[in-house]
């Protein structure tokens, strides 16, 4: 999965150049869904039109990953900018356009077996 996460670092950087920065871009493997990963995203530009933004992100991922890699991704989850859980994660992990690996933790109230945090930064205006 690390290879997929490395490809997603490139996707995240490309989207940032085209649309604007992310406050969160991370892959989570939940304990209750052991074979598929969730992509969690948060960004001011996503909130303006969630449906369109999710489609845009999905298209970028489809172009970057092989079909056998795409099936490892379950869904794209949009996290609200004012989420207390997002702020807690951002306080714990600060990274931008990189990759931090976390195992056996609890985020957003869910037990997470494994995670790759690509970007986790606080919004500059908050």
Rounded to two decimals, what is the model's pTM? 0.92
Note whether residue 76 is domain-resident.
Answer: yes
Q: How many domains does the chain have?
A: 1
Q: 77 in helix, strand or coil?
A: strand
Digitized pLDDT (tens) for each residue of the chain, 126 residues in all? 999 999 999 999 999 999 999 999 999 998 888 789 999 999 999 988 999 999 999 999 999 999 999 999 999 999 998 899 999 999 999 999 999 999 999 988 888 999 999 999 986 543
Instruction: Show the domain range for 80.
Output: 2-120
Closest CA to 2 of 21, 29, 34: 29
Q: Are 117 and 93 in contact (CB under 8 A)?
A: yes
The domain that holds 79 is classified in CATH as: 3.30.300
- Rounded to whole angstroms, the Cα distance separating 121 from 94 reads 6
Distance CA 75, CA 77 (A): 6
Question: pLDDT per residue over 92-121, tens digit each?
Answer: 999 999 999 999 999 888 889 999 999 999
Query: What is the token pair recorded at 67?
Result: 């079909």
């Amino acid at each position: 999965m690390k290879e997929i996460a490395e490809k997603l670092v490139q996707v995240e950087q490309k989207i940032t150049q085209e649309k604007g920065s992310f406050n969160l871009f991370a892959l989570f493997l939940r304990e209750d869904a052991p074979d598929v990963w969730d992509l969690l995203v948060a960004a001011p530009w996503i909130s303006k039109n969630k449906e369109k933004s999710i489609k845009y992100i999905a298209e970028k991922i489809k172009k970057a990953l092989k079909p056998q890699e795409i099936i490892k991704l379950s869904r794209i989850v949009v996290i609200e900018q004012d989420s207390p859980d997002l702020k807690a994660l951002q306080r714990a992990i600060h990274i931008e356009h990189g990759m931090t690996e976390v195992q056996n933790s609890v985020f957003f109230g869910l037990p997470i077996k494994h995670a790759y945090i690509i970007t986790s930064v606080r919004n500059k205006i908050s």
